[in-house]
Amino acid sequence: MVDFEDALKGYHRDFVEADADGPEKYKPIVPPAVVSAIFGVLSILTILGWGMVVFPLTGLLCGVFALRKILASPEDVGGFQLAVAGIVLSLVFWLVGYSYLAYSYYYEIPFGYVPITFEEIAGDPKTGKLPQRILDLACDPERTDMLPQKVFIEGEMYPGKHLHDIDQFIIVETIAQSRFSSMVREPTESVLIHITGGRTVSHRTGKVRVGGVLTVDKSPPPGETPYRIDADVFR
């Protein structure tokens, strides 16, 4: 059976001179160096998803394996530059791809969710009328013929009695503002968040991002927010 490396001899070669007057000498490139370079270029696909790590990982492993073979017999085989290029490309694209995915996870709006802000959900303090756009985005329990539109909002968790295993909490625009004006805070300046799927979260300081199905109670009890989000996204 023909060895894979022997089969590639004559197709991938490094060119060197044996000496000034001697004949030209060729060094076959080790196949793992070629594979490393190819997967190094393909590592750019890492930005498409976490599972694409197979490309930079393969490029790294093949590159390291190729370097070991080349350094063990530097006079007989070549491909050093290809192996190094594969390793460098794999590392760079792996880092760039995962950095992009992490940024997207924490800061970008999930596909299919409509962003809303606390400025948008604030009702008219004089008439108590809620914004029509928010009412249009809210889930209508009587409409069973269509999927509800999901929304995405950013704010801060209002402190409650528990710090862990929380499945329901209030989110406000800023804690500092809410504490300062807690006695006069309008109900429409907050949203009740219910974590779905039997999951729980821990209290966080700073900004959190929540996405899910919005429902609006047009006649809430006095002092309570009319807004509720059944959240399937919590970041």
Q: Is 131 exposed, middle or buried (0-12, 13-18, 19+ CB in 10 A)?
A: middle
Per the CB < 8 A criterion, the answer to whether 14 and 29 are in contact is yes
What average pLDDT is seen over the chain?
82
Q: Report the C-alpha gap between 215 and 192 in whole angstroms.
A: 10
Output the pLDDT for position 187: 77
- Give pTM, 2 decimals: 0.58
Query: What pLDDT, in 10s, does the model give residues 132-161?
Result: 888 888 887 665 556 778 999 999 998 888
Q: Report the C-alpha gap between 192 and 169 in whole angstroms.
A: 6
